[in-house]
Structure formats: C-alpha cells, structure tokens
Amino acid sequence: MLQITEPNQKSTKVVGIDLGTTHSLIAYANNNEVTIFTNDDGEKLLPSTVLYEPNSAPVVGKKALREQRKEDEEDNSGIRKHSARDRNTISSIKRLMGRGIKDVEKYARHETYRLLDKDDIVLRIGGRELTPVEISADILKELKNRAEKSLNEKIENAVITIPAYFNDAQRNATKVAARLAGLNVLRLLSEPTAAALAYGLEKEKQGTYLVYDMGGGTFDVSLLKLHDGIFQVIATGGDTWLGGDDIDKLIAEYLDNHGGLWPARIQAARKLKEQLSTSTKSKVITDNTIYSLTTEELIPLVMPIIEKTIQTVKDVLLEGNITKNDKINGIIMVGGSTKMPLIREKIGEIFNAPVITDLNPDEIVARGAALQAASLMGDGDSLLLDVTPLSLGIETAGNLVEKIIPRNSSIPISQAQEFTTFKDGQTAMDIHILQGERESVEDCRSLAKFRLKDIPPMPAGKAKITVNYTIDADGLLTVSAKEDTTGINQQIEVNPTYGLEEDKIIGMLKASFENAGADVKTRSLKEVQLELTNLISACKKALQIDSNLLSDEEVSSLYNVIEQAEKELSNPNIEELRDITNSLDDSFAPFAEKRMNKSLEESIVGLPAANFE
C-alpha cells in the first residue's frame, strides 16, 4: 500500500488521543505495541469532566467528577440549589464543539449551567466565561501531561479521533482546541476507522464492517467498507443523547423501592450494571442502603434502549445499500456500554454477523489512533487519506464559479474538466483558481491566476481547453490548462490548505450554508442572463452577415427586438428573462431558416458532378 508520511515534521514521538464525550485516553505505539498512559493511580480512563474553581487552575478527571456528583447530590437533596452561574463543573463538552446557539438549545435545557447569548457558545462555569474549545483544550492538556510524564519528553504532535459524522466546523474546533493545548494535529481520524485499525482489519484487504459504539453519553454506528486495505466510511448514524448513562438512569428509577437519594441510586445502578456483565445477580451498598439487581430484572429495563440502537443500525445499513443477502464481515464493539453481554448477543443475533470483542472496548479508539500516529511517522503500513477542507474551482463566464474538486474529497486526487472559448477568435484564456463553496467569484477565495496563450483563433465554443486540478498527498495543488488541437499548455502550483486559519474556513462554510438558497438563485439568474447575452450577440452577428436575405422592414423589426431584449438584461426576474430569451429566439426563427436554406444551396452548388459512365 501507498505510505503517506506527513512532510516537514520533527522525528519525535506522536501520540494518539481519544477525546471522548464521557472519558478520554491517550496512547503511544512503537513496533505495533500500544501503551495507554495512566495517572499516578494506574487509571487509564480520564473522565472528560472539568472543575473550575475561583482563583484555581482547572482540574480535569476523577476529582472533577466527584465534585460534579457532589453538586448533583446537593441539588437533589435540597441542601443547596445551584444556579446557572455557581455551578463549578462541566462534562460532555464534546457535544458542543463547533456548534451554534440554536444547535444546542436542547443541551442548554438539559444541563444546570447556562449558555451566554453571544455569537459563539460561551458557558458560565465557576464564575468564568468559557468556550467549548477552551474546555476541550484543558482536557487535552491533562492528557498531554500524562504522556510527557510517562515518556519523559515533550509531546508536540498527535492524531486525535472524532466521530465520523463531525462536520468541518466541529473538526476545526477540535484542531483549535489541540493548538491551545500545545498540540499539532497531524490527522483527525474517524473513530470507527480507528477501531478497525486497532484490530488490524486493514490487513484483510476487503470486507464490510459495522462499528457499534455506545459510550456513556452518546451512541454512534458506522458502516465501513474495506477495499485494497483502505477503509471508507459509507454511512453513519447515531444519537448524541443516548448512552450508558441512560441505562443507569432507568436502573436507578427501578431501584426507587430500595430508598436512598437519587445520586446514591445512580452510583449503585452503575455498579450493579457492571457486576451483571459477569454474573446473573448483583448487590452493592451505597450510603448505608443495600441495592440488588438480577439479569432477569435488567433485561426489560435495557431492551427499549437496545431496540432504539437496532433501528439506527438498520437505517445505516439501508443508507449504505446493504441488504439481507450482503455479508457483514464483523461488528466491532466500541465503548464501555458494549461490555454488557445482552447488547453483544442481541446485535450479533439480529444482524447475523460475528461480534468482535477481543480488545477492551474502552481502549479501542485510542489504540487505533496510536497505531495511525506511528504509521504517519513511518512505523507501520496503514493508509489514511486526508480530505480537502473547501471546494476548488475555476471562474467561468458570468463571474460564476465551476467546482472541479468538491470539499471533503480524499487526497491525493486529480480531476479534469473541459472548457471552451467565449468569443470568436479568442486566442487566450485566463485561468482563475478559486476556493470556497459560494457560486460567485467575489464570494470565494482567490488562490492564483495564469493565462493560457496562443489558442488558435476559432469561432466561440469550438476550442477545447482541458483544465486539470491535482492535489498531492502533501496538499499541494497543481493546475494545468491544455489546448487539445495544438497541445500548448501552462501550469501553476498552489497550496490551497495552508495560510487559511480554521476560523476563516469555518466562516466561509457558515456563509455558504446561510446563503445557499440565495446563491442558487443568483447562479440561475446569471446563467439566464448569460444565455440571453450570447443569443443577442449571435443575432447581431447573423444580421451583419446575411441581412440581404431580409427586407429593410424585417431587418429594422429584428433590430428593435434585439434592442428590447438588451434593455431587459438587468431584469432580476428569472422567469421573465427566460420568456424574453424564448421570444427573441422565436422572432429570429424564420431568419435562421432562410440562412440554413442559403447554406444548403451553397453546399449543393459547390459539390462536384457525379460520373455515371
């Protein structure tokens, strides 16, 4: 397989990070041996919970989680009701990454802290105003410190995993958080692909795999297709509000007859659930209250959640065009909740595929990230293709942008498209390279321009110019233009991904989404105006050449029709412009017929006589 190595990177250790909703991990791979870094107590999982106390440095992990549970207990017991502004802890911040205020109204209602009414999401926690990016950066700093302490050297580069469904804004928010934490992101790796890499499935070369990922707070399912050792995510689905925590809540509600406050029942529910992964009966004592649960009692509590995930899996398979007759090579179980035997049994049974559970589901994603990190530094043989952050296109007539390489295309990539001249006798063509999602040139980013000269003079539309865009593995764009009859060509090298900050990319994407409807209308209007302009030009040229076929009155009448059409060129009504174009075409139809007859007569007269002897 092709090995892609990140250019211009120092030969230092690169770590893999699973930045999770509920828990996070950091790992390092050497010679295919993966080490997951721990804290001083030997714990691998870092709770993705942060404590912000006034005049104190942020605290990430178990202490923050204990404080959060204490705040929950105080709220539920009535000892102290936390207002939006005196809550000191926050968790599940991953849900807010790259989101807008409207996107997270549900989340704001769900939690006790509140969002400030600003353009960007800002949360008030512990008397501070913090963004999701800043909070995620604090989690990444803690992970980075773990690795540096264990390896006894500075860590600068990382591969960070993200859900397959993350959009560009969420991806870039993750990159910015890493930069704030002092980390350079070599790759953002999709979590399902990381899971597949952890099992070394790329060595199978071919196959279809399902990744069933249920963590504490979210559920994701991805369909992967492996072709020649390269994974491609075909379809994704999930629920960012469904996970092991929901199972805990259902169990805690069921334990109501045991007594005890809600926080104690939640804690007991989690422990009982974990015990039932290896036994049919469980018992725990929390706050002097005895709680018990059996597998028989657990099944009806959990089945509604399992059924919900099964429907999501079915939807993903449908989207990926997988039928009952298609073989699924394996179902990879990811996330702590998949340790439950009931989940594994039901999913494997319903989808008739082997359930892959050899590795600890809590650690799989971090392991895959570490292996990919090692591969990028030349240790390993797996392949990961990067993608283009924004579309690349060319300026065409009417100040419009024609997309040649769409955004999110895997690189390396090469795409070619054929263009032609706009005017008669045109001997040069300006190639204007643009980046962005909008339809008009002025709304996109100009990357470069060059001119293709010495095009043979021909009637408009006759020349064939092939424009080729090629992006190599390092993100370097080469644009070439070639005139097909003569073979003359010009080319230029551009770097479309460097020099453009993440916030600029996010801004461009946001503008494209917000103006999508208006842009489509603008493009349609310009295309109709261009069609009318070309028709007017053709009509004028025809009258100049063959006006002798018409009477003076007919010529005058047609010029009047052209004049009326020219006055309407600035009309913003697309349908009216189309009617004007059709009317002009109809007015010139008899003249066009006369010209055709003349051309046929001239052709027949010029033919050599046939010899019948």
Quote the tokens at residue 211.
Answer: 């990744």
From CA 315, how far away is CA 308, in angstroms rounded? 11
Preceding amide of 608 cis, omega within 30: no
**Measured torsion, CA atoms of residues 195, 200, 201, 205, in degrees rounded to the nearest 10:** 140
Catalytic residue among 134, 202, 213, 362: 213
Q: List the one residue out of 392, 223, 379, 377 whose CA is nearest residue 312.
A: 223
Cβ neighbours of 381 (radius 10 Å): 12
Burial class (CB in 10 A: 0-12, 13-18, 19+), 297: middle
Burial category of 120 from C-beta neighbours within 10 Å (exposed 0-12, middle 13-18, buried 19 and up): exposed
- Measured from the Cβ of residue 566, the count of other Cβ atoms closer than 10 Å reads 14
Given 134, 168, 191, 483, the catalytic residue: 191
- In the annotation, is 502 catalytic? no
CA distance 77 to 7: 57
18 a catalytic residue = yes
Measured distance CA(105)–CA(273) in Å, rounded:
31
Which of the following is catalytic: 13, 18, 142, 483?
18
Going by C-beta distance under 8 Å and a sequence separation of 6 or more, which residues neighbour residue 14?
28, 157, 158, 159, 186, 373, 374, 376, 377
Residue 432 and residue 449 in contact, taking contact as beta carbons nearer than 8 Å: yes
Based on the number of CB atoms within 10 Å of its own CB, is 542 exposed (0-12), middle (13-18) or buried (19 or more)?
middle
14 vs 30: CA distance, rounded Å: 10
Active site residue 191: yes
Closest to 368 in 3D by CA, of 509, 161, 555: 161
- For residues 76 and 79, give the distance between their C-alpha atoms in angstroms, rounded to a whole number: 8
Helix H or strand E encompassing 41 = none
DSSP 8-class letter at 440: B
Q: What three-state secondary structure class fits 268?
A: helix
Vertex 562: Cα angle to 571 and 538 (nearest 5): 105
HEC string of 51-117? Answer: ECCCCCCCEECHHHHHHHHHHHHHHHHCCCCCCCCCCCEEECHHHHCCCCCHHHHHHHHHCCCCEEC
- DSSP characters over 134-150: HHHHHHHHHHHHHHHHH
- The two tokens of residue 105 are 């109204």
Residue 213: active-site member: yes
Q: How far is CA 76 from the centre of its chain?
A: 39
Catalytic annotation, pick one of 67, 71, 94, 142: 94
Backbone angles phi, psi at 487, to 5 degrees: 85, 5
- Between CA 302 and CA 592 the distance in angstroms is 76
* Separation between Cα atoms, residue 406 and residue 388, nearest integer Å: 8
- Residues assigned a catalytic role: 18, 94, 191, 213
